[in-house]
Structure 1
Amino acid sequence: MQTVFAIEHHAVTPTHADVLGIVSMIVWTLVLIVCIKYLVLVMRADNAGEGGILALMALVRRLLENRARTTAVALTLGIVGASLFYGDSMITPAISVMSAIEGLAVIDPTLAEAVLPASVVILTVLFAIQRNGTGIIGKAFGPVMTAWFLALAALGLPWIIRHPVILAALSPHWAVLFALDRPWMAFVAMGAVVLTITGAEALYADMGHVGARPIRIAWFGLVGPSLVLNYLGQGAMLLIHPDWVDNPFFRMAPSWATIPLVAVATLATIIASQAVISGTFSMSHQASRLGLMPRLSIRHTSKQEGGQIYIPEVNWILFSGVLILIAIFQSSAHLATAYGLAVTGTLLLTTTLFLVLAHDAWRWPTWAVVLIGVVIGGLELVIFTANLLKIVSGGWIPLVIGAGAITIMTTWRKGTEMVFRERAAAEGPLEDFLDWVARENPRRVPGLAIYPHPDRVTTPLALRNNLRFNHVLHERNVIVSIVDEDVPHIRHKDRVQVTDLGNPDDGIAYVECHVGFTDSQDVPKALALACDKIPELQVDMAQAVYFMSVAEVKRGDPADPDSPASRNRMSPWRKAVYIALSRNQADRVKVFRTPKTRSVVMGEVVEI
């Protein structure tokens, strides 16, 4: 409300028609996008219980896998949507915490100077404690957010009682009249109205943590009504006190309640920021497991909750971005000019993917898909277009962040495909290797050797090099593949699949462990699930040695016709980006959770 009435030097004025028009726009934006789109429609599209745009993308690709063009489009939309999420994830903690602390200036204008340092201190502590897990903040989540939303309702209700004419804003015709009377100003105002729905995508993304039913109960039972009461209350207050547009939210509270309200608001925004940070960890984890990012250092911070993870690289990149934004904009009002473009882009992409799913996979009637696209997609398109006006004043920042994320994801995906081809050529077919073992009968040494490897088509580099350099083969050998599926979770009893390699007496077995993109890639645990199925594992697993196959990627000479670089089509700068990402990705030993003291890394150079 503060932002919308500050547009272009108060071009939207707190008159009767303007206030009712703005409040009506806010209420019906919440109804159409949050209530109908997300809670009624999109949350039906769960990928084995998991939500979010990457989970939706994976669901579309799995259900429509026989349609190459559709799956390619879904992949592109998923990459763009996830990349835009990163742009928002840097702005949200900064704007949330700063807007709460700015309530101090309502108490004493001289305290405005404390907003910036206080925000930096709070955010620094928040990011610093991420390594310890979210358990402490999680325990406070329910009570604090309940108190927050009850406070929102309690602030708005007295003003509605004092000026009940504001209830007329519940009718959508006030929004329509405002748009018809002042179309340009209504269009510009939508760039501020978007601030009321910035967390909508998180409702969908959090499905995997709590489920759809609790989210719907929380929204319709507490959150939605509290928000509507508060916005109506702000509107009623502005009709009575038009000069209170400088900070209408904190103006609603009596003077004695301002400090407690600032405290509750600060706690609520810390939790909201935590949700965004956790969402960024989850999004990055999914992207890595779907082959869109390098391996990341995933640390599970809870033995009870598998979804509670910490990714140090993502945490500190996010923190650095938040500090830079605070230093540049220095107030929530200025940050609001940069906010909204990325989130509305994600809203549109989610709607597009959902409509593709509903029409092509669920076979919804065309008229229903078109109706949803026109009403909800049309509203989101208007909001997105309105936010394009913010590009010059700071809206370019989340776009630049998103463009960087898109570049990383597409470069990693394409570079990985090239490395896979070159590596497969160096490894050679596994069948040929097994024939050679049967024919040559190389010298054996006691023990169990385990070779993590992507598939059973080619021979692990470490297995070849172990024979090449040490001239021996272990008595028992197990090739294990961790196969990432486009689903969030696979039950333990369904994960392991043992494949016969042809000769039961050669001492070489093959195990496939299928995992979802929220499951661990723990190789020892995967082998523990297969112990009863493979004779090679009927030994003391504590004595097993793990051989990691590593391909060191280097850029070749494209002018050399014998170099792989001559056939790998990728611009030099993107090859440099891929090589840098490859060299800085997480250690395989940590990712596969193999014992450090019994892990050996072997491989060779691969040129691209």
Structure 2
Amino acid sequence: MIEKPKLATLCLATLGIVYGDIGTSPLYALRECFLHEGIEATHDNVLGILSLILWALILVISCKYLLFVMRADNRGEGGVAALVALLNPWQVKPGSQRYLLMLLGLFGAALIFGDGTITPAISVLSAVEGLETATPAFKPFVIPVALIILVGLFSLQHRGTAKVGRIFGPIIVVWFLVLATLGLNGILQYPAVLAAANPAHAYAFFASNGFAGFAVLGSVFLVVTGGEALYADMGHLGRAPIRITWFVMVLPALLLNYFGQGALILDRPEATKAPFYELAPDWATYPLVALATLATIIASQAVITGVFSLTRQLVQLGQLPRVNIVQTSPDEQGQIYIPLVNWLMMLATIGLVIGFGSSSALASAYGIAVATTMVISTILAFFVARRFGWNLWLSAALLTVFLIVDFSFFGANLLKLADGGFYPLGVAILVFVLMRTWARGRQLLSERWGRNAITPSEFAKLLIIEPPHRIDGTAVFFTSGYHVPPYLLRHLARHRVMQERIILLEVETRDEPRVMAAERLLPICVAPGVMYVKISYGFMQDPNVPLALRLAEKLGMDLELDAVTYYLGRQILIPTRNIPGMWLWQERLFAVLSRNATRVTAFFRLPPKDVVELGFQVEI
């Protein structure tokens, strides 16, 4: 049970971290629904679209995510990567059910990278476009102002979000209160809009508009695009604050605002061009633009941070090459900064703003990635539920209902493919190819070394049969399993010199978010002077080998860490046609990824002065 003061603090943080994306959808979602050809702002159409929005929020967010999917947590962590890890698919045979589910989940994770660049672009653009509502004279300045804001946002990422995060919650509270106030005022001007709560209006909308009505679902979907964030951020805040905040503040404020915009359109059909800003009195336009800009910056920040976290998870799970990960807070493990990802996202976001030119144009590219991810999350959640003992019929019934909704939105978003929807799918395919190439390349290398590898026990016997010259100190050799790395044997054969203490060190990433310090080390004494040590981390943790070995020393292991030398094998990969398992272009790509991956020294936090690299060529 969470204490009430702490729960209140978590709820405030939830508003700033989780609900920024879905909370800024009123800026553009309803407007986009009336930009479809053949959809006029008639009484029946307005009520039908509002009904679709209401029931989308209830079915997708309230029922699917908050009541069902969030039950499938990996020791408190959520998101597509956590779902994949729950299925523990890494050692299964290719072609098996769990292997295919792993591929599906990894593609879902790849989709988030494309969406992560669109969200900041469309959110900030839609906020700044409010200046046009005040006067058309500001139109030439919309894109330059949006670019300045976005460049500033990405440029500040290296400072971390600890200080800024303290004011995120209160600003978003003000934002939702303003949403509710504007919406309530609109509803009071035209109370008949409340009839849209009847789902019969949604049915009538499809019946009267046919295919055009189905296409509108692609824009209705914009109201739930922040749904995946609810699940992904569960590990930071927990289920209770996310659920309480949704039902107490977020859902009521969103519905009031959407219905208020609908009431305005019923009263003044020409207001479809900017219904959100038209709700406010003229004097409030500039303050509202400023508040909307702050809200979209916060929403963008949450998405950027989410992409950082996802990248770290995939690196730790061995699905992406090592990258430089900077911890921006000494207290909060989730606050990280990844320079490479940050600058790539910034360039992509700038390109989207310049290339599409408006939030309406970007809306065509937005949604298809999230819709696909939602379908994948539903399927994975079903198999996780079955794995943990859920009733088959109950699980199947829920899967059927949610998939009908998900596939409806997915199909509507496919219609956007030619108008920009190809962008997030293209990014996802590129990231997926990188992931599979990296993982497959590492697997083939591991299998190749494993065939001719010797065990630590055999190595200890070799030292007795052909004893090398021993010198003071401790040598740490990194290995990928319970065997002796080939570069150690080459080093020994070449130099015939070895330290008195030898540690064969394996760093393992488990299929769980975090590994407690008490479970961090598994030491095995192979022979006098030879030890195998496994260090385990969760996929949400950053490895620090010297710190872990310091713990081993405190436990009584004779290591003498002040005299440690870390030996690393630096492989020079040579693509050939002789090794089966990968296409030649994949081998070349894997070689490029290996050369550009962050060096083991930095990734494992090794002191550079104590590291020796042993290079050797490997044909792949």
TM-score in same-fold range (> 0.5): yes
Residue in 2 aligned with 1:52?
79
Pick one of 521, 526, 535 that aligns with 2:548. 526
Q: Does 1:431 align with 2:451?
A: no
Distance in 2, Cα, partners of 1:483 & 1:177:
56
Distance in 2, Cα, partners of 1:50 & 1:62:
17
Residue in 1 aligned with 2:524?
499
Residue in 2 aligned with 1:376?
402
Distance in 2, Cα, partners of 1:383 & 1:535:
58
Pick one of 485, 493, 497 that aligns with 2:510. 485
Contact 2:184 2:260 in 1 (8 A): yes
Residue in 2 aligned with 1:563?
none
Residue in 2 aligned with 1:551?
571
Distance in 2, Cα, partners of 1:585 & 1:274:
26
Once superposed, what is the RMSD of the aligned Cα atoms?
A: 1.8
Residue in 2 aligned with 1:310?
337
Distance in 2, Cα, partners of 1:84 & 1:444:
53
Q: Give the secondary structure class of the aligned counterpart of 1:61.
A: coil
Of the structure 1 ranges 24-33 and 522-531, higher mean CA displacement relative to structure 2 is found in 522-531
Q: Give the secondary structure class of the aligned counterpart of 2:612.
A: strand
**Within 5 Å, which residues of 2 pair with 1:281-320?**
281-320=308-347
Pick one of 507, 511, 517 that aligns with 2:539. 517
Pick one of 385, 392, 412 that aligns with 1:366. 392
Q: Which amino acid aligns with 2:461?
A: D
Cα pair distance change 1:49/1:24, threshold 3 Å: same
Q: Does 1:265 align with 2:265?
A: no
Residue in 2 aligned with 1:562?
none
Pick one of 562, 576, 591 that aligns with 2:588. 576
Contact 1:452 1:480 in 2 (8 A): yes
**Within 5 Å, which residues of 2 pair with 1:402-421?**
402-421=428-447
Distance in 2, Cα, partners of 1:289 & 1:333:
37
Q: Which amino acid aligns with 2:377?
A: T
- Cα distance, 1:529 vs. partner? 2.0
Distance in 1, Cα, partners of 2:556 & 2:102:
38
Contact 2:89 2:99 in 1 (8 A): no
Q: Give the secondary structure class of the aligned counterpart of 1:6.
A: coil
Q: Give the secondary structure class of the aligned counterpart of 1:13.
A: coil
Residue in 2 aligned with 1:277?
304
Of the structure 1 ranges 108-117 and 67-76, higher mean CA displacement relative to structure 2 is found in 67-76
Residue in 2 aligned with 1:588?
600
Contact 2:571 2:616 in 1 (8 A): yes
Cα pair distance change 1:208/1:161, threshold 3 Å: same
Q: Which amino acid aligns with 1:163?
A: Y
- Cα distance, 1:184 vs. partner? 1.3
Q: Which amino acid aligns with 2:610?
A: R
Residue in 2 aligned with 1:13?
40
- Cα distance, 1:427 vs. partner? 5.1
Residue in 2 aligned with 1:252?
279
- Cα distance, 1:361 vs. partner? 1.2
- Cα distance, 1:425 vs. partner? 4.8
Q: After superposition, what is the alpha-carbon deviation per residue over 1:150-208, rounded to whole angstroms, capped at 9, x for unaligned?
A: 11101100111121111111121211121222231220110101111111101100011
Q: Give the secondary structure class of the aligned counterpart of 1:110.
A: helix
Residue in 2 aligned with 1:212?
239
Q: Does 1:468 align with 2:493?
A: yes
Contact 1:83 1:402 in 2 (8 A): yes
Q: Report sequence identity in percent.
A: 39
Q: Which amino acid aligns with 1:312?
A: P
- Cα distance, 1:379 vs. partner? 1.1
Distance in 2, Cα, partners of 1:62 & 1:423:
22
Q: Give the secondary structure class of the aligned counterpart of 1:208.
A: helix
Distance in 1, Cα, partners of 2:128 & 2:289:
7
Of the structure 1 ranges 304-313 and 171-180, higher mean CA displacement relative to structure 2 is found in 171-180
Cα pair distance change 1:185/1:81, threshold 3 Å: same
Q: Which amino acid aligns with 1:598?
A: D
Structure 2 gap segments, 5+ residues each: 1-29
Distance in 2, Cα, partners of 1:493 & 1:46:
23
Q: Give the secondary structure class of the aligned counterpart of 1:551.
A: strand
Distance in 1, Cα, partners of 2:380 & 2:228:
13
Residue in 1 aligned with 2:354?
327
Contact 2:503 2:531 in 1 (8 A): yes
Of the structure 1 ranges 365-374 and 299-308, higher mean CA displacement relative to structure 2 is found in 365-374
Of the structure 1 ranges 222-231 and 528-537, higher mean CA displacement relative to structure 2 is found in 528-537
Pick one of 481, 488, 505 that aligns with 1:455. 481
Residue in 1 aligned with 2:33?
4
With normalisation by structure 1, the TM-score equals 0.94
Q: Does 1:90 align with 2:112?
A: no
Distance in 2, Cα, partners of 1:487 & 1:68:
24
Q: After superposition, what is the alpha-carbon deviation per residue over 1:384-433, rounded to whole angstroms, capped at 9, x for unaligned?
A: 10111111111111111111111111111111111222333565443332
Q: Which amino acid aligns with 2:574?
A: K
Q: After superposition, what is the alpha-carbon deviation per residue over 1:529-567, rounded to whole angstroms, capped at 9, x for unaligned?
A: 222445432x3x2332111122221113x2xxxxxxx23
Q: Which amino acid aligns with 1:418?
A: L
Q: Give the secondary structure class of the aligned counterpart of 1:256.
A: helix
Q: Which amino acid aligns with 1:40?
A: L
Residue in 1 aligned with 2:102?
75
Distance in 1, Cα, partners of 2:164 & 2:198:
39
- Cα distance, 1:74 vs. partner? 1.9
Residue in 1 aligned with 2:5?
none
**Within 5 Å, which residues of 2 pair with 1:175-254?**
175-254=202-281
Q: Which amino acid aligns with 2:367?
A: G
Distance in 2, Cα, partners of 1:535 & 1:407:
43
Q: Which amino acid aligns with 1:515?
A: Y
**Alignment size in residue pairs:** 591
Cα pair distance change 1:171/1:241, threshold 3 Å: same
Distance in 2, Cα, partners of 1:498 & 1:115:
60
Cα pair distance change 1:553/1:534, threshold 3 Å: farther
Q: Which amino acid aligns with 1:555?
A: P
Q: Give the secondary structure class of the aligned counterpart of 1:526.
A: helix
- Cα distance, 1:462 vs. partner? 4.4
Q: Give the secondary structure class of the aligned counterpart of 2:420.
A: helix
Residue in 2 aligned with 1:41?
68
Q: After superposition, what is the alpha-carbon deviation per residue over 1:490-527, rounded to whole angstroms, capped at 9, x for unaligned?
A: 110111111232x2x2x111111111001121111111
Residue in 2 aligned with 1:561?
none
Of the structure 1 ranges 448-457 and 343-352, higher mean CA displacement relative to structure 2 is found in 448-457
Residue in 1 aligned with 2:422?
396
Q: Which amino acid aligns with 1:5?
A: F
Q: After superposition, what is the alpha-carbon deviation per residue over 1:211-232, rounded to whole angstroms, capped at 9, x for unaligned?
A: 1111111111111111011001
Cα pair distance change 1:65/1:554, threshold 3 Å: closer
Contact 2:437 2:590 in 1 (8 A): yes
With normalisation by structure 2, the TM-score equals 0.92
Cα pair distance change 1:423/1:313, threshold 3 Å: farther
Q: Which amino acid aligns with 1:528?
A: R
Residue in 1 aligned with 2:139?
112
Distance in 2, Cα, partners of 1:469 & 1:143:
64
Structure 1 gap segments, 5+ residues each: 559-565
